[in-house]
Amino acid sequence: MAEKIKITNETRAKVLMDALPYIQNYYNKTVVVKYGGNAMTNEELKNAVMSDIVLLSLIGVRVVLVHGGGPEINDMLKKLDIESKFINGLRYTTKETMEVVQMVLCGKVNKELVSHLREHKGRAIGLCGLDGNMIVAEKIKGDVDLGFAGEIVDVNTEIITDSLDNGYIPVIATVGAGVDGESYNINADTAAAAIAAKLGAEKLILMTDIAGLLEDKDDPETLIPTVNVSDVPSLKMHGIISGGMIPKIDCCVESVRRGVGRTAIIDGRVPHSILIELLSNEGIGTQFV
Amino acid sequence: MAEKIKITNETRAKVLMDALPYIQNYYNKTVVVKYGGNAMTNEELKNAVMSDIVLLSLIGVRVVLVHGGGPEINDMLKKLDIESKFINGLRYTTKETMEVVQMVLCGKVNKELVSHLREHKGRAIGLCGLDGNMIVAEKIKGDVDLGFAGEIVDVNTEIITDSLDNGYIPVIATVGAGVDGESYNINADTAAAAIAAKLGAEKLILMTDIAGLLEDKDDPETLIPTVNVSDVPSLKMHGIISGGMIPKIDCCVESVRRGVGRTAIIDGRVPHSILIELLSNEGIGTQFV
Amino acid sequence: MAEKIKITNETRAKVLMDALPYIQNYYNKTVVVKYGGNAMTNEELKNAVMSDIVLLSLIGVRVVLVHGGGPEINDMLKKLDIESKFINGLRYTTKETMEVVQMVLCGKVNKELVSHLREHKGRAIGLCGLDGNMIVAEKIKGDVDLGFAGEIVDVNTEIITDSLDNGYIPVIATVGAGVDGESYNINADTAAAAIAAKLGAEKLILMTDIAGLLEDKDDPETLIPTVNVSDVPSLKMHGIISGGMIPKIDCCVESVRRGVGRTAIIDGRVPHSILIELLSNEGIGTQFV
Amino acid sequence: MAEKIKITNETRAKVLMDALPYIQNYYNKTVVVKYGGNAMTNEELKNAVMSDIVLLSLIGVRVVLVHGGGPEINDMLKKLDIESKFINGLRYTTKETMEVVQMVLCGKVNKELVSHLREHKGRAIGLCGLDGNMIVAEKIKGDVDLGFAGEIVDVNTEIITDSLDNGYIPVIATVGAGVDGESYNINADTAAAAIAAKLGAEKLILMTDIAGLLEDKDDPETLIPTVNVSDVPSLKMHGIISGGMIPKIDCCVESVRRGVGRTAIIDGRVPHSILIELLSNEGIGTQFV
Amino acid sequence: MAEKIKITNETRAKVLMDALPYIQNYYNKTVVVKYGGNAMTNEELKNAVMSDIVLLSLIGVRVVLVHGGGPEINDMLKKLDIESKFINGLRYTTKETMEVVQMVLCGKVNKELVSHLREHKGRAIGLCGLDGNMIVAEKIKGDVDLGFAGEIVDVNTEIITDSLDNGYIPVIATVGAGVDGESYNINADTAAAAIAAKLGAEKLILMTDIAGLLEDKDDPETLIPTVNVSDVPSLKMHGIISGGMIPKIDCCVESVRRGVGRTAIIDGRVPHSILIELLSNEGIGTQFV
Amino acid sequence: MAEKIKITNETRAKVLMDALPYIQNYYNKTVVVKYGGNAMTNEELKNAVMSDIVLLSLIGVRVVLVHGGGPEINDMLKKLDIESKFINGLRYTTKETMEVVQMVLCGKVNKELVSHLREHKGRAIGLCGLDGNMIVAEKIKGDVDLGFAGEIVDVNTEIITDSLDNGYIPVIATVGAGVDGESYNINADTAAAAIAAKLGAEKLILMTDIAGLLEDKDDPETLIPTVNVSDVPSLKMHGIISGGMIPKIDCCVESVRRGVGRTAIIDGRVPHSILIELLSNEGIGTQFV
Task: Calculate the alpha carbon distances from E285 to C262, E214, E221, E276 in Å.
Answer: 58, 9, 11, 10
Cβ pair A1:B14 closer than 8 A: yes
Residues comprising chain A, all counted: 289
How many other CB atoms sit within 10 Å of the CB of residue E151?
Answer: 17
Inform me whether the C-beta atom of residue A48 falls under 8 Å from chain B C-beta atoms: yes
Condensed to tens digits (0 to 9), the pLDDT of residues E139-194 reads: 998 888 899 999 999 999 999 999 999 999 999 999 999 999 999 999 999 999 99
More confident call, C231 vs F86: C231
Pick the CATH number of F29-78+100-128+153-172+186-288 from 3.30.1360.120, 3.40.50.720, 3.40.1160.10, 3.40.50.1820: 3.40.1160.10
Is pLDDT at C2 greater than 60 in this prediction? no
pLDDT at D152 over 50: yes
β-strand E183-185 against E175-178: which pairing, if any? antiparallel
Contact C173, C135 (CB under 8 A): no
Residues E177, E130 contacting (CB under 8 angstroms): yes
* C-beta of residue D168 within 8 angstroms of C-beta of residue D125: yes
Q: Above pLDDT 90, what percent of chain D?
A: 78
Question: According to the model, what pLDDT value does residue E4 have?
Answer: 57
**Beta-bridge partners for E126:** E171
Quote the pLDDT of residue F64.
Answer: 98
- Looking at residue B5, its pLDDT comes to 60
Which of B100, B102, B113 minimizes the C-alpha distance to B36? Answer: B113
pLDDT of A2 reads 43
Number of B:C CB contacts under 8 A? 104
D55 and C10 in contact by Cβ < 8 A? no
Note the ipTM here.
0.93
- Residue B276 — φ and ψ, nearest 5°? -60, -45
pLDDT confidence of F84, banded at 50, 70, 90?
Answer: confident
> Between vectors from CA C190 to CA C187 and to CA C191, what angle results, nearest 5°?
80
pLDDT at E76 over 90: yes
Residue F2 has pLDDT above 50, yes or no: no
Q: How far is CA A59 from CA A26, B53, B101, B283, F268, in A?
A: 9, 14, 38, 21, 49
Torsion sign, CA atoms D128, D131, D134, D139? positive
pTM of the model: 0.91
| C–D interface: beta-carbon pairs under 8 A | 123
pLDDT at F227 over 90: yes
Decide if pLDDT at B164 tops 90.
Answer: yes
Report the percentage of chain C scoring pLDDT > 90: 78
| Amino acid in position B158 | E
A120 Cβ under 8 Å from any chain F Cβ? no
* B102 touching C (Cβ < 8 Å): yes
What is the pLDDT averaged over residues D259-276?
A: 93
DSSP state of A200: T
* Distance (Å, whole) CA D34 – CA D41: 14
DSSP letters for chain F: --TT----HHHHHHHHHHHHHHHHHHTT-EEEEEE-THHHHSHHHHHHHHHHHHHHHHTT-EEEEEE--HHHHHHHHHHTTPPPEEETTEEEB-HHHHHHHHIIIIIIIHHHHHHHHHHTT--EEEEETTGGG-EEEEEPPSSS--BTBEEEEEE-THHHHHHHHTT-EEEEE-EEEETTS-EEE--HHHHHHHHHHHHT-SEEEEEESSSS-BSSTT-GGGB--EE-GGGHHHHHHTTSS-TTHHHHHHHHHHHHHTT-SEEEEEETTSTTHHHHHHHSSS--SEEE-
Residue A88: the pLDDT is 74
* Nearest alpha-carbon partner for F47 in F115, F107, F95, F111: F115
What does the alpha-carbon distance between residue D1 and residue E209 come to, in Å, rounded to a whole number? 55
E243 confidence band (pLDDT: 50, 70, 90) = confident
- Give the CA distances from residue A274 to residues A53, A55, A270, B78, D148, in Å, rounded to whole numbers and listed in that order: 8, 11, 9, 55, 77
Residue F206 near residue F266 (C-beta atoms within 8 A): yes
**What is the spatial distance between Cα B185 and Cα B166, in angstroms, rounded to a whole number?**
28
State the DSSP code for D84.
Answer: P
Given a cut of 90, whether residue B105 has pLDDT beyond it is yes
| CB within 8 Å: F125 and A127 | yes
CB contact under 8 A, C108 and B103: yes
The segments of chain A whose pLDDT lies below 50 read: 1-2
Closest CA to E96 of A162, B112, D196, D108: D108
Chain D residue closest in CA terms to C59: D59
Contact A282, A276 (CB under 8 A): yes
- Give the pLDDT confidence score for residue F4 in this predicted structure: 57
Q: In whole angstroms, give the CA distance from residue F245 to residue F209.
A: 11
| B266 in reach of chain C (CB within 8 A) | no
Q: Phi and psi for E129 in degrees, rounded to 5?
A: -65, -10
pLDDT band of F218, cuts 50, 70, 90? confident
Of E104, E124, E131, the CB nearest to D114: E131
Mean pLDDT estimate for chain E: 92
Cross-strand partners of D90: D87
3-state secondary structure of B206: strand
Chain E: residue whose CA lies nearest to D116: E181
Touch criterion met for F and E (3+ Cβ pairs within 8 Å): yes
CA B208/CA B274 separation, integer angstroms: 11
Using 50, 70 and 90 to split pLDDT, how confident is the model at E73?
Answer: very high
Nearest to C206 by CA among C153, C250, C151, C152: C250
Q: Are C271 and D54 an interchain contact pair (Cβ–Cβ within 8 Å)?
A: no
Identity (one letter) of the amino acid at E76?
M
Q: How many CA atoms lie within 13 A of A171 on its CB side?
A: 33
Strand F124-128 relative to strand F135-139, pairing:
unpaired
Q: In this structure, are strands B150-155 and B135-139 parallel, antiparallel, or unpaired?
A: antiparallel
* Residues in D touching E148 (Cβ below 8 Å): none
Whole-number pLDDT of residue F5: 60
Would you kindly state where each structural domain of chain F is located, as residue ranges? 29-78+100-128+153-172+186-288
Give F124's contacts in chain A (Cβ within 8 Å): 131-132
- Mean pLDDT over C227-231 rounds to 94
Q: Measured between alpha carbons, how far is B67 from B195 in angstroms, rounded to an integer?
A: 12
C173 min Cα distance to partner chain B (Å): 10
pLDDT in tens, C164-173: 999 999 999 9
CA-based nearest distance C175→chain D, Å:
32
Instruction: Please state the φ and ψ torsions of residue A58, each to the nearest 5 degrees.
Output: -70, -35
Residue E86 has pLDDT above 80, yes or no: no
Provide, rounded to the nearest whole percent, the portion of chain E with pLDDT above 70: 98
The answer to whether C262 and C256 are in contact (CB under 8 A) is yes
Chain C contact set for D9 (CB, 8 A): 270, 272, 276, 280, 282, 284
HSE at residue F69, side-chain half, CA atoms within 13 A, is 29
State yes or no: pLDDT of D270 exceeds 70.
yes
- Of B7-16, E126-135, F262-271, the range with the lowest mean pLDDT is B7-16
C-alpha closest to that of D190 among D52, D51, D66, D39: D66
**Tell me: the pLDDT tens digits for F9-64?**
889 999 999 999 999 999 999 999 999 989 999 999 999 999 999 999 999 999 99
What integer pLDDT is reported at residue C90 of this predicted model? 73
pLDDT score recorded for residue E2: 43
Contact A1/B24, CB-based, under 8 Å? Answer: no
Of F80, F107, F118, the CB nearest to A107: F107
pLDDT reading at B262 higher than 80: yes
Question: Residue B177 phi/psi, 5° resolution?
Answer: -95, 105
pLDDT 10s digits, D120-149: 999 999 999 999 999 999 999 888 889 999
* 3-class SS of residue D32: strand
Write out chain A residues lying below 8 Å of B272, CB-based. Answer: 9, 12-13, 16-17
Q: Contact C94/C148 with Cβ under 8 angstroms?
A: yes
Summarize the confidence of residues D251-255 as an average pLDDT.
Answer: 93
